[in-house]
Structure 1
Amino acid sequence: MRRKSIQNWRRSNSPVLKRFCASIGKSLGLPNQVADYWDTMLGGKSSSTDYFENYLLSEIDSPIVIGLDHVEVIFQYPEIASNFFCLLRTWNEKAKYGNSLSQVWEKLRLVVVYLTEVYMPLMIHHSSFNVGLSIGLPEFSRNQVQDLVQRYGFNWDSDQIKQLMSLVGGHPYLLQTALYHIWQQDFLLEELLAKYTINVRIYSEYLSEQLSNLRQYPELYAAFTQVTNSPTPVELEWEQALQLQTMGLVHVRGDRVLPSCNLYRQYFNVSASHLQEFHPKSGRAEG
């Protein structure tokens, strides 16, 4: 599921769920019969369920897997997200616990993939993503980073591994990016650790996306700025700490919060300073 698809759904005159049902049917090689099953009085969720139960799942003999990738793009559209994720939850429960038509729903498998680095409203998180088997991708451990370094052919000692992880933590993408550029001989590890300009260059797109995402939520951005500005772990409201931890920006230690890596501390400190230089009171640059 890509951003362009969501935008097309919004522009279309047909409701989102109609398009979703039709696209699944097309993938299964079945004729589009959405109009025959759609009841405007019952609404989109009920009609979608009816379409799957009495048509799509009934027409196939073997189980199907519906994989939804990059669903974090839907978080931007609450009017879509609320109904869509509620529907997925209902289908998951039907497939898991069964009902009078359990044999039909047992054919359905759902795989939902999303980036936790994108802000996810807690309402959506708790209501829609606390079902099924949740598999998170954790940060790399020290031993895993050591193994990755060796695979690049570097004979680094434990201090060098520690310094690299101090900068980027165990974040797979940040580690991979750093090691690739060092392998390409764009710079040495010592230069990466010492020069902030290198960090900005190789991580510019990633960091800009993180900054842009946070700025959409001023209270969350202010909370993270407080964390990056403090030399010691700080105490935040539980909801803010949870959101920042889910996004991979912080580590929570008891009731205290600290940046998950020094790269975030450096970058967001500078970004916050620039905002204050432009417009100290509002934190926004004037055009």
Structure 2
Amino acid sequence: MYQPKYRRRRGVILTPQGSNKLQKAKSEAEFKENSGYRYTLEKLSDRTGLAVDTLIRVNNGSTSVDKQTLKRYFRAFNLILEPSDYSWPETQIEPQIKEIESDDVDVKPEFPGGQVPLDSAFYVERPPIESRACEAILQPGALIRIKAPQLMGKTSLMARILERGRKQGYQTVVLNLKLADEKVFTNLDRFLQWFCACVSRSLKLPNKLADYWDEMFGSNYNTTDYFENYLLAQIDSPLVLALDDVDRLFTHPEIASDFFGLLRAWYEKAKYGDRSSNIWQQLRLVVVHSTEVYIPLNINQSPFNLGLSVEIPDFTSAQVQDLALRHGLNLPIQDVEKLINFVGGHPHLIRLALYHIWAQDISQEQMWQIAQVWKIVTKLYIISYIPPLHPNLIR
């Protein structure tokens, strides 16, 4: 197996260009988000996830820090750290072989499949998506809608939104509709009772549907009453409720129209300003789906035209090159462009290709041979992972 050799470097410092770029972005954020007041070190630490002493070292400009630290600082203000933004201290000798940060030296590429773990070195952020979504979930009564094709990174992004909520002390619940048996979708009443029971169990609260379910009032009213007067009333912090794979409901329009109307009603209840609004402001919703909403929904009953809409894009050339470096592969830009041309910048396919090149299951030369595309597709298991194929693969 290919094992690239690395030489460690002690750290980097900001160049004047990088410092000016960061300070400008920080000043703009202070003006827009902090009423023009400068961020305290404590607030900067909360925003960036960096320790106060680390921030002091970065701002000092004469003390070197790990490059990953600068990347994190830049990402917090929706910036990408570029080579012109940092430099190596003069006391260090410029190595003749590719470098990676000391924190990543012993990290082996992981086989891509499903959600990228929170602590993974191979999750590629796509600014400003992550920071915008993680800020939105802190807003009372928030609704975030994540839409992208299969294996684009929806669940990985959802996990990072939930993690941001947990760091704020919020309760979090993930409900994947793929886990529901087909009989759950028999009728609206059964589906909403399953929905309420699942959330209760996730919150480790007793199932009290019998106390709140009255056929006279209808399923939507009973579900609202159960959440307002029981679930939300029992917890002393906001609740982030993530609904994954809601596409499952699109094949059951008789249930979907009422359920999605219910979500919209909850979102609007948080805005009413009446007695119950404070309770509904505690609920933050994340709705994740892969396909377009093709079921007919009244525009005034749909939640898909409210809140923050997030569409996950393909990887850019810079992001693919960065990911290749994390795999120990120093790909020139022309090879990066070839790879993107093959798979359209699809995140999972890019990671799959880089993993197999790193593992020497396939060489770069093989990857670039158009005549072997179908052989490569089969070798990388793309057919089994992603139906239908990306159009670039079959043209």
Q: Which residue of 2 aligns with 1:123?
A: 296
How far apart, CA to CA, are the structure 1 residues paired with 2:358 and 2:229?
A: 56
Q: Which residue of 1 aligns with 2:349?
A: 174
Q: Which has the higher contact order (CA 8 A, sep 6+)?
A: 2
How far apart, CA to CA, are the structure 2 residues paired with 1:103 and 1:119?
A: 32
Q: CA deviation at 1:210?
A: 2.5
Where 1:112 maps in the other structure, the secondary structure is strand
Q: Which residue of 2 aligns with 1:99?
A: 274
Q: Which residue of 2 aligns with 1:204?
A: 383
Give 1:158's match in structure 2, choosing from 314, 327, 333: 333
TM-aligned CA distance change 1:66 to 1:98, over 3 Å: farther
How far apart, CA to CA, are the structure 2 residues paired with 1:103 and 1:44?
A: 23
Q: TM-score normalised to the size of structure 2?
A: 0.49
How far apart, CA to CA, are the structure 2 residues paired with 1:133 and 1:6?
A: 30
Encode CA deviations 1:2-24: one digit per residue, 9 max, x unaligned.
42324352369961101111222
Contact persistence 1:98–1:106 (CA under 8 A): no
Q: CA deviation at 1:92?
A: 1.6
Q: In proportion to residue count, which structure has more helix?
A: 1
Q: CA deviation at 1:93?
A: 1.8
How far apart, CA to CA, are the structure 1 residues paired with 2:279 and 2:324?
A: 49
Where 2:308 maps in the other structure, the secondary structure is coil
Contact persistence 1:26–1:32 (CA under 8 A): yes
Contact persistence 2:184–2:194 (CA under 8 A): yes
Matches within 5 A, 1:47-196: 47-115=222-290, 118=291, 120-121=293-294, 123=296, 127-194=302-369, 195=372, 196=374
Encode CA deviations 1:56-111: one digit per residue, 9 max, x unaligned.
22233222121222222222322332222221121122224443311211221112
Where 1:128 maps in the other structure, the secondary structure is coil
How far apart, CA to CA, are the structure 1 residues paired with 2:288 and 2:221?
A: 24
Contact persistence 1:192–1:199 (CA under 8 A): no
Contact persistence 1:67–1:111 (CA under 8 A): yes
Contact persistence 1:6–1:74 (CA under 8 A): no
Percentage of matched positions with identical amino acids? 45
How far apart, CA to CA, are the structure 1 residues paired with 2:378 and 2:355?
A: 16
Unaligned runs of at least 5 residues, structure 2 = 1-175
Q: TM-score normalised to the size of structure 1?
A: 0.66
Aligned residues: 214
Root mean square deviation of aligned Cα: 2.6
Report the AA paired with residue 349 of structure 2: L
How far apart, CA to CA, are the structure 1 residues paired with 2:189 and 2:345?
A: 44
Report the AA paired with residue 200 of structure 1: T
How far apart, CA to CA, are the structure 2 residues paired with 1:201 and 1:72?
A: 29
Q: CA deviation at 1:185?
A: 1.0
How far apart, CA to CA, are the structure 2 residues paired with 1:173 and 1:98?
A: 44
TM-aligned CA distance change 1:124 to 1:3, over 3 Å: farther
How far apart, CA to CA, are the structure 2 residues paired with 1:37 and 1:166?
A: 56
How far apart, CA to CA, are the structure 1 residues paired with 2:361 and 2:298?
A: 40
Q: Which residue of 1 aligns with 2:81?
A: none
Report the AA paired with residue 294 of structure 2: P
